[in-house]
Structure 1
């Protein structure tokens, strides 16, 4: 294990949030507490904006918080032993102060008739018979219904508070277990949660006689005097009649119109995320439970740990309300319960009107900069894999006029590769009984693409039988007949979306099924015009995500139609068509079998009996079997000469064996897929990718960044090297090439970052800036860069995210999701310390882009997520993939 040196620190220094001198003493006190405890104070909107900026920009060095954030206070002895923490020595929390803001639960649903709970100037309207009424009993009821219930009070769940009047609130609406709506936190995630019933608020108890609240001595209400607190008095009391001089008194209701829809502050939390109620009825922070085993990615425990190291700001869209104050009391109680051996932590109530939210805190509110990570991940993936052309059959007179990567082109047979969003919508009557088959509604080029056939690739799809394929061809020929009968001129238009041929195809078919299917599709793409089949087909090959289950069929089609070998088909799809794809090692065996069958048929030059017609040989719905068996299109089944890719222009000194792409494809280090293309010039991969130098040359990669894993290993002299002409005569397994040789010969430049292990101890914080500068110089020189570590998910992913943040000028969350989506079937997982490095990198980039402009800096910092929020969102994204 490699351990990064920990800089010496002054024990008196508090990292993170440090308040300006005399700042705390200037704040109004809402609830005094005896020393050494700090009181609950009020914050104005401007003051909160100020401390928010200080907390965001004061990114503590990672050695301050780690390894403490790995959960050393938990009961996981394996985890503690890994970080050299012994059970006989107490774990000392770091001298760090963070900032967390919590939304009061009353914000979940605007009250229908209660505007009387704002802490304001005075309470004279109570005596005047206003609708304020008995504030004490109403608030006790609200607390039991809205705060304690949301903290999952097992001992009093669903019951009235002791001593409170029966509630006359209407029953909550029933919960719909099938609802797919966001949870009540207002922050929907990838995985929908069971909907909560809407909270019902009432002020019926407010109309009670005020004398009921004055007899608190005979009531079991928990609200006692706060004017003279004693050390034994729990911080859960509020006397509405005798506020101390230093407290903000109660006043009339807010004049805001109903319903109030003031926005909430972005990247915050709900009380249920942080607090729980113990058996004594007291509030405490959620207990820390570190999962068993050793893990460097315990993102789910970051929020409860970080909360114990942070000041808490309670806010409500209605201002400094009673409910907000009561919630602050609960947080104060939890903070004081953990006060031993810690620096003092504070609890605040944000005193801001809805108008102040919109003016003074507009840059911090939920808005365009607030990203729904789950939805953005889906959007990024769908954008990456949206339908694009992978095969175009050029006619002899057009072959030299049309370039690769053509969009939808009339009169040409084309194959597109896409995802579920690219499948045309079925308008009107899906049965097809009342539609015009030649009406292109929902399937016209103006709407996107005009397809004749849509092939769904999925794991357990039914196998396409010969009868199904013949029926599909019959349907397409009927469309041709109707177009000709109608007197149509030129190529037939796309059919109605309901008239498209939809075919299934399994992920792993047998080789015979694959060749049969390829023969069918090739017939549709290359029809025999002499027989009157006037329009080649437009085919969409799709799977749910656009790559996992459809890559095998796409590569097989390229081999079949273009007459290429399997390695050439890989490069055709990746380099020429610029289409990222992913193939598992198990799929490679099937692809090699298909390649062998196609090569055997191609070079044998013996046409097999055609099972599919090349033109409309039927005049009715009956299959003309004699015509089918006799028809044969020489132009379709003629052998196609394999197309060799030219030698990579980036490596003119390489020996001739580079032209043989089978060398890098048969290399034992090749696992069936290329490194992931994140940007046109930036790849993310693993150690085997870096060692397969002929594959690097085939992809045009000229620079390599090795993060903690050295690929510069001198080759064994007994096997020969690919740098000498004689190497071309050696067996392929002995001429795998060497990055060491390529680097020494100057054909590939390597930046080797040493001493960075994926152990949660080593850091990348000081290396990010110079690495990004090196990658940028390579880009400016016209090069392509591969960033790798051992697996390509943690250290190299961290560097790649950092560069994407800088190059595109985007936030950490956006860059994280871009890299995550482009890694395809490999889940990136930077360990917690490295992800925390990226939080500091985001702050540095914000300062660099602002260049001293205060307003620009405020806008940049508004996009910066705090550590606990980021950790929670990453955990929610990973939940369905990981079971730690």
Structure 2
């Protein structure tokens, strides 16, 4: 396994509360070789989620053989088979000129996939950087890897995988484990040629979108389907593509094409373990579908939660769906959104009992930029919070509190001695993923509606309300600038004096100064994934209850005394492994897992005391 990410080193300003002389490095700095980024083309293909899920586990061969009988007796000195499809002598051969394809049954398909899934993968150095994509014309990609690995590896000869292709290309039904569509490996309108997927320009070590085609040319290929003529036609095209590939690459091993023409019911009834989607289009759960699993986990992670009375945060819902009808008002945060508290005011003061959900918008996180933002924008945020409060609580200031223009006075809710009661409205603050664009409004309203200062709202929204979010440094500056007004105009703080509110706001914790807007991401309750900025903010980690740090390939800089306070045994830095797409992590796994295991067993000995929510701190891990 190889890391497929890259790190670009940029100078990072020292936060105001740190003096340069007080900063110490946890380890010696790791040099990152510069590359000529001016040559990188903007036309580089954008990475997309990996479509092809490998069935082989990583790591060395298991010490003990799997508890299954071998396919046939073998002598001790016989070379270990890496695939049941090579050699293909047991399968019926069909010839057409110089080409040949082989017929295979559902049972043999299942056996071959099971066998290869238990074989060890080759050492990463044998297959990378070839798998990253090395087009002959892409000089910057070639130069980057050649300058680091001294030689650019050609197509590896150590691979013999299995690529499964569904002949009709419809992967929404009757899909086998890891199956792909024909257009993912064959050129359209060609007489059997593999697609050329290596990017011609641009630099990237995250070319996940090319992996299906890259592995196909180093695989035996199984074509399946119930339409015999379509399966055979595609089989001959793939066999032709394999033949042309061998002529182009003299040293390439000989891979074979297999066709399986059987009712899909045979797989469902007898080999359900390799059926990912049944003939009705339903996920079976027998095969891990990472794309579906990611969507499910993202939904669970970002699903709407009530952060304050009748106000939820969550992802954008399907229009007209049952979930959407649960809410009276839906506020979408986006780059095209605008401040429009008057629309909320009109709803609060209107008499309509229309049950159709109302849709409004609001600027996304990071779109209101200090120092260019105006007092009108600050007023708009405050007014939005106030009308959200009125709508969610079923109240509205009486007309006696209106100004001469007829607009409700928003100077201080505590001054409104009379309110009219109306039907409380359920409100959803939403964006596409449930947190990225909506974070700024969410934190602002959470502070306003709970009376928490901004820094405490930021922390509690994550640790207590279990909301993930992503803000920007501009949001930190904006929210801290209006922090006093959020509390001063909050109904929760109506009994507090201006001096008390000022004291709450001015006593900001040290970690807020270094905050870039984001928190480490919660992977599970005891493990977080963060970046170097988070690692350089130990006060934030302590506030979150994080007790151990595992830092891979990066050098954190702490103030004098921080490491001693943290405890050297609670920090592990793995050096000489950079995010450059070359350095493998496999040799470091054992050390990292041992550190995590040791830390987990010692979680009750954490020295940082209780979390802000009052429960005993667990030992979390920050992994970079």
| Residues 16 and 60 in structure 1, CA contact (< 8 A), matched pair in contact too | no
Distance 2:436 2:166 in 1: 43
- How do residues 539-688 of structure 1 correspond to structure 2 at under 5 angstroms? 539-598=427-486, 637-639=494-496, 661-667=508-514, 670-688=515-533
How far off its partner does 1:54 sit?
Answer: 2.8
SS in 2 for 1:497: coil
Closer/same/farther in 2, CA of residues 472 and 637 from structure 1, 3 Å limit? farther
Note if 1:515 corresponds to 2:576: no
How far off its partner does 1:264 sit?
Answer: 4.4
Note if 1:68 corresponds to 2:130: yes
How far off its partner does 1:686 sit?
Answer: 0.8
| Residues 328 and 348 in structure 1, CA contact (< 8 A), matched pair in contact too | no
Distance 2:581 2:134 in 1: 13
SS in 2 for 1:549: coil
Closer/same/farther in 2, CA of residues 14 and 93 from structure 1, 3 Å limit? farther
User: Which of 349, 358, 361 lines up with 1:474 in the alignment?
Assistant: 349
Q: Name the structure 2 match of 1:274.
A: 185
Closer/same/farther in 2, CA of residues 514 and 332 from structure 1, 3 Å limit? closer
How far off its partner does 1:701 sit?
Answer: 0.6
Can you list the C-alpha shifts for 1:47-81, whole angstroms capped at 9, x where unaligned?
Answer: 33222223222222222212222334633233223
Distance 2:234 2:211 in 1: 25
How far off its partner does 1:689 sit?
Answer: 0.6
| Residues 455 and 508 in structure 2, CA contact (< 8 A), matched pair in contact too | yes
Q: Name the structure 1 match of 2:94.
A: 30
Q: Name the structure 2 match of 1:49.
A: 110
Q: Is the deviation greater in 455-464 or in 525-534? A: 525-534
Distance 2:261 2:334 in 1: 55
SS in 2 for 1:510: helix
Note if 1:350 corresponds to 2:260: yes
Closer/same/farther in 2, CA of residues 642 and 391 from structure 1, 3 Å limit? farther
User: Taking CA–CA contacts closer than 8 Å with sequence separation of 6 or more, which of the two structures ends up with the larger relative contact order?
Assistant: 2
Q: Name the structure 1 match of 2:139.
A: 77
| Residues 187 and 372 in structure 1, CA contact (< 8 A), matched pair in contact too | no
SS in 2 for 1:767: helix
Q: Name the structure 1 match of 2:75.
A: none
Closer/same/farther in 2, CA of residues 697 and 375 from structure 1, 3 Å limit? same
How far off its partner does 1:552 sit?
Answer: 1.8
Distance 1:100 1:313 in 2: 7
User: Which of 566, 571, 578 lines up with 1:750 in the alignment?
Assistant: 571
Q: Name the structure 2 match of 1:40.
A: 101
Any stretches of 5+ residues in structure 2 without a counterpart? 1-30, 34-59, 61-77, 278-283, 369-375, 396-415, 605-617
| Residues 16 and 98 in structure 1, CA contact (< 8 A), matched pair in contact too | no
RMSD: 4.2
Q: Name the structure 2 match of 1:333.
A: 243
Closer/same/farther in 2, CA of residues 755 and 27 from structure 1, 3 Å limit? same
Distance 1:17 1:42 in 2: 20
TM-score between the two structures when normalised by the length of structure 1: 0.49
SS in 2 for 1:463: coil
User: Which of 307, 315, 330 lines up with 1:390 in the alignment?
Assistant: 307
- How do residues 405-554 of structure 1 correspond to structure 2 at under 5 angstroms? 414-421=310-317, 451=327, 453-464=329-340, 466=342, 468-475=343-350, 478=351, 497-498=355-356, 502-507=359-364, 508=368, 510-524=377-391, 525=393, 527=395, 533=421, 538-554=426-442
SS in 2 for 1:455: strand
| Residues 140 and 203 in structure 2, CA contact (< 8 A), matched pair in contact too | yes
SS in 1 for 2:482: helix
Distance 1:46 1:663 in 2: 63
Closer/same/farther in 2, CA of residues 776 and 16 from structure 1, 3 Å limit? farther
| Residues 166 and 180 in structure 2, CA contact (< 8 A), matched pair in contact too | no
Distance 1:295 1:460 in 2: 30
- How do residues 752-767 of structure 1 correspond to structure 2 at under 5 angstroms? 752-767=573-588
Q: Name the structure 1 match of 2:158.
A: 96
User: Which of 541, 544, 551 lines up with 1:706 in the alignment?
Assistant: 551
How far off its partner does 1:564 sit?
Answer: 2.4
Distance 1:287 1:426 in 2: 45
In the alignment of these two chains, the number of paired residues is 494
Can you list the C-alpha shifts for 1:751-800, whole angstroms capped at 9, x where unaligned?
Answer: 221221112221112333442453344345253323333xxxxxxxxxxx
Can you list the C-alpha shifts for 1:615-662, whole angstroms capped at 9, x where unaligned?
Answer: xxxxxxxxxxxxxxxxxxx998443756999xxxxxxxxxxxxx9543
Distance 1:497 1:778 in 2: 53
| Residues 308 and 446 in structure 2, CA contact (< 8 A), matched pair in contact too | yes
Distance 2:194 2:252 in 1: 15
TM-score between the two structures when normalised by the length of structure 2: 0.67
How far off its partner does 1:685 sit?
Answer: 1.0
Closer/same/farther in 2, CA of residues 596 and 39 from structure 1, 3 Å limit? same
Closer/same/farther in 2, CA of residues 689 and 534 from structure 1, 3 Å limit? same
Q: Flag the structure with higher strand content.
A: 2
How far off its partner does 1:340 sit?
Answer: 1.4
Distance 1:318 1:521 in 2: 59
